[in-house]
Structure formats: C-alpha cells, structure tokens
Chain A
Amino acid sequence: MGILTVLWEKWVEFRRDFYKISVAAIISPVMYLIIFGLGIQTTSHGEPYLHFLIPGIVAMATMTGSFGAIAQSMSVQRLYEKALDQVMVSPTPLWQFIVGQIIGGSLRGMYAGALILLLTSPIQTGLIFNGLSIFIMFLNGMVFSTIAVVLSFLAKSYSDAPRFTTYIIMPMSFLCNTFFSTDQLPAGFRQVISILPLSQSCDMIRKIANGQMISFFGIGILLIYLCIFGLIAMLFIYKKKNL
C-alpha cells in the first residue's frame, strides 16, 4: 500500500515533468550514439561498433535515469522542501517508502533505456532485446536507485547530489563496459571494474542482444549490491538520529 503511494507520487512527478524528463534522459546517450556510433564509424570484434555500443548505452541510460530520479528528488525533499518529514511522521511503514523509491527509480531508469531502444530501433542491428533484457534493466535500475537513496541520506547540502553523480555515475559510465570491453583494462583494475554493477549489466544486456547465454553470476552481483545498499537505506531511515 505504502509502495503504491510512493509510486503514485513518482507518477505525479513524471506526468508533470514528462517532457523535461524525456529530453534529459536521451540527450547524453544520443550524443554518445552519434559521436561514437555514427560519427567515428569503427568496428569491434568484426562487427559495427554501434552493435557493441547500443546495449552499453541502454544499460547506462537505465543507470543514470534511476540514479538521477532518486538522488536529486530525495535530496531536495530531505534538505530543501523538508517533505520527507511528512513521510516520517505518517503511519506508512518506512521500509515501504524505501521500496517504493527503489521501484519508482528503477521504472524511471527503464523508461530512459526504453527511449534509447525506441530511438535506435530504425537502425538494422539485429540485436535482441527481450524479457530478460528488461529484467536486467529493471534490476540495474533498482541497484542504482538504492545507491541513490543511501547517498541522498548522506547528502549535507543540495549541491551534493550532482557531486555524487560526478564521483560515481560519470566514472562508471565511461569505465564499466559501456564504450569498450573491460577485457582491455590492465589486470587488477579490470577485476575491480568488472565487479561494479554497471559492468555486469552491460555485459548481460550485450550478451542477450547477441543471442548468447548469460551467467547468473552477473545477476548475483547485482542482487548483492541491491541487498547491501538496501540494508544501509533501511538502517538510515529507521536508525539515523538526525534525518
């Protein structure tokens, strides 16, 4: 019930800012697609680079969409509007509020990913996007929404949300299997990068797109992130003395 309330609140936000949200969701990914996919035309593993790039861009759009939807909104609600107080006082169980935020954020991420799929659909790539891809996008979105919830509790000022994006989202966007395979990275660094959630999501969405089997290791990694950050979020909302 409380989860539906949060999803309703997210829907109100989405409906009101539909155009802004949609445009913001596609600008960067479309730029990357134009520059790296169409502008600098190259190949990867004998295939057009665009075939490698599109699954990565979809995963990245899901990540940035989910993270942005929650980090910004919750930081503003907590620090500026104080609207979080309304939730804290209410009888809505706080775990439901957190779960609602995570699902709501993930849906926003999926919307961003779906827009990329829609925009690239005229390009004949032969890439496959199916139910499993959608599941991975949803899981990826949940992980980054949860990270955003935790960071919004840690934020001390309004400017922290964009700062977190610079520290976390931007490096992941470029390093985590989005634009190039992590296989090319030096040993040690490669292992670290490969266990980051976006690396796994990119890898899985790309494998599905190319008709390959995915390993459940990737799903396991995403679930571990989800559990760890989900627990931290619960701990904060129930135990943090000064929210």
Chain B
Amino acid sequence: MIELKGLTKRFGDFTAVDNINLQVETGEFFGLLGPNGAGKTTIISMISTVLLPSCGQVYIDGHKLDRKASEEKKKLGVITQEYSMRQDMTMDEVMQYQGKLYFLPKKVIKEKSDELLEFAGLSEFRKRTVRHLSGGMKRKLMICRALLVEPEILLLDEPTAGMDALSRRQMWNLLRKVNNQNMTIILTTHYMEEAQALCNRVALINSGKLQKLDSPAALIEEQGAFAVDEFLDEGTKSHFFKTKEEAIHFLESSDEQASFRATTLEDVFVECAGRRLL
C-alpha cells in the first residue's frame, strides 16, 4: 500500500503539489489525472524520491520512503515521462544496468531481458543504442526496463505518450496483465479513455490540489451518466443528466442542434479542470 500524507512540493513561491492525502491499495490500478502543470509528474517524482517533498511524507507498506530506504525502493519500478536512459547505451546495456542496480543475478537479467525484449518486439534492435531508437521504441524499452525487476509497485508517468494506437492497445493489455498479478500501478495520463479503461480509481488533480477521488464509474455517475451536447455558435456546450429520460427530454426540447451520448471521464475531467470544450 502507498500512502501520501500531506504531500506538498514548493518551488520557490510556486506550490506545485498542495497537501495531497491519499492511499493506493495493494494491487490497485490508480490513475492521477489533471491538466498540464497540475502536479502529477511532481507527485510521481516524489514517490520515486527524485524530488523530496517540502512537507509531508510518502509511506510504502507503512514504512517511510526516502532516498535511503533501499528495501522500499526495491518495490518500485518507474517509467518516467522523459526517456530517462543513457542515450549511448545499447538496449542490452540498458537492461543490464537496470538489473545490476537492482542486484539481480547475471543469468536472471539475461533470461528476463530476452523474454521482455521479445515480447515488446525489440529483440532485433537490442544492439542499437538508445539514441538511434524511435520514440515508441524508447517507450517500450522503458517499460521492459521497469518490468525487468518485477516491482510490486509500478509508477507510470504518461507511459503511452507518443505511441501509435496499436502499440497503446498492446500496452493496455500488458498493464492489465501485470496488474492482474497483483502489481500496484499508479498511472498519470492525458488520455482519459486510457484511465477510464484501466483504472480502478482516479484522482483528479488541479493546481496541485486533489479535486476528486473515486472510481471512474462513480465520478461519471456523479457528473451525470448521460450527456447532451449543444452545438452553439460560440462552441459546444455539454449538459449532464442523471437519467436517460431527462437527457432525451432536454434534447427534444432544445432549439439548437444537439446530440445525445454517454458521459465519459473526459467530461468529468473537463468540468473539474474548469474548462469547456470549444
């Protein structure tokens, strides 16, 4: 279990993360959602100890997490938003380095690297340096690297950014698979359909503050499960309704061009972030 207690991060006068309190249960698939600059990556960076909090603390299974906590860090695997790898290392070397940093035996590193790179379709490029890989390949390599050490907790910061639709679906399947093996996953993403499809619970973060915390279904229910979009001259205006009948009644009585649909997590996100679709 991961626990964030009063987690706060300030950069000078700017508060990037403001007193976040939440718990992520073992085996949970948890999403951190929010607009750009909401503080999601800063939270992930604090859980991975790259940044230290200004206030508050992260606990893993009840133990305080800091840079000295080797036992707790052993449980963590991180896929950062940026390609945090030596650019001049080959794929094989990247995997070896990761394995060595986690004290894995040489034989295990070799076997697991073979398996993961094969699974990700990267085997034939394993002698290629990171610098010469495409963005999607780098992303896949980062995932292989994180999974090499079989972490109990996987932190994913925008893991599918830059991936094509097919690769993204493959990634979803992989993440579901590892989550089914009781791996706790914390995911930040800009793709709302990704969070809706994968996460048991999501936290909506805005301006560093926790705005909402619940399952995607519950958040959609709270917003109103049915939506009617009115296409006005100034843009699209969405209306949300608890029941289908209410939505259809509104649609029929509307003088504007309008359409009916199911509410999505993106609607919740847009409303929460205080934005309107244009």
Interface positions of A (Cβ within 8 A of B): 1-2, 4-5, 8-9, 12-13, 16-17, 77, 81-94, 237-243
Closest-CB distance, B201 to chain A (whole angstroms): 24
Interface positions of B (Cβ within 8 A of A): 11, 48-52, 54, 67-68, 70-71, 73-74, 76-78, 80, 82-89, 93, 96-98, 100-103, 145
Asked whether, in the complex, the Cβ of B54 is within 8 Å of the Cβ of A90, the reply is no
Asked whether, in the complex, the Cβ of B84 is within 8 Å of the Cβ of A81, the reply is yes
Closest-CB distance, B256 to chain A (whole angstroms): 49
Asked whether, in the complex, the Cβ of A77 is within 8 Å of the Cβ of B88, the reply is no
Q: Which of A85, A92, A93, A241 contacts B84 (CB under 8 A)?
A: A85
Contacts of A4 in B (CB 8 A): 100
Contacts of B103 in A (CB 8 A): 1, 91-92
Contacts of A92 in B (CB 8 A): 70, 101-103
Closest-CB distance, B10 to chain A (whole angstroms): 9
Asked whether, in the complex, the Cβ of B101 is within 8 Å of the Cβ of A87, the reply is yes
Asked whether, in the complex, the Cβ of B93 is within 8 Å of the Cβ of A91, the reply is no
Closest-CB distance, A240 to chain B (whole angstroms): 8
Chain A: CB-nearest residue to B101: A90
Asked whether, in the complex, the Cβ of B67 is within 8 Å of the Cβ of A81, the reply is no
Q: Which of B48, B77, B87, B102 contacts A85 (CB under 8 A)?
A: B48
Asked whether, in the complex, the Cβ of A5 is within 8 Å of the Cβ of B97, the reply is yes
Q: Which of B54, B101, B145 contacts A241 (CB under 8 A)?
A: B54
Contacts of B96 in A (CB 8 A): 8
Q: Given contact pairs A87-B101, A89-B76, A89-B77, enumerate 4 new A-B contacts (beta carbons under 8 Å).
A: A82-B83, A89-B50, A90-B101, A241-B52
Closest 6 CB pairs of A and B: A90-B101, A82-B84, A5-B100, A91-B70, A91-B74, A85-B84
In the bound complex, CA of A13 to CA of B93 (Å): 10
- A–B Cβ pairs within 8 angstroms, 6 of them: A8-B96, A85-B50, A85-B84, A86-B97, A88-B49, A91-B103
Q: Which of B67, B87, B88 contacts A238 (CB under 8 A)?
A: B67
Asked whether, in the complex, the Cβ of B88 is within 8 Å of the Cβ of A86, the reply is no
Chain A: CB-nearest residue to B142: A86
In the bound complex, CA of A240 to CA of B49 (Å): 11
In the bound complex, CA of A101 to CA of B171 (Å): 36
Closest-CB distance, A97 to chain B (whole angstroms): 9
Q: Which of B51, B52, B73 contacts A90 (CB under 8 A)?
A: B73
Q: Which of A2, A17, A81, A89 contacts B87 (CB under 8 A)?
A: A81
Asked whether, in the complex, the Cβ of B89 is within 8 Å of the Cβ of A12, the reply is yes
Asked whether, in the complex, the Cβ of A12 is within 8 Å of the Cβ of B78, the reply is no
Q: Which of B51, B74, B84 contacts A243 (CB under 8 A)?
A: B51
Contacts of A2 in B (CB 8 A): 101
Asked whether, in the complex, the Cβ of A86 is within 8 Å of the Cβ of B101, the reply is yes
In the bound complex, CA of A9 to CA of B98 (Å): 11
In the bound complex, CA of A93 to CA of B74 (Å): 11
Contacts of B76 in A (CB 8 A): 89
Q: Which of B70, B74, B83 has the most CB of A within 10 A?
A: B70
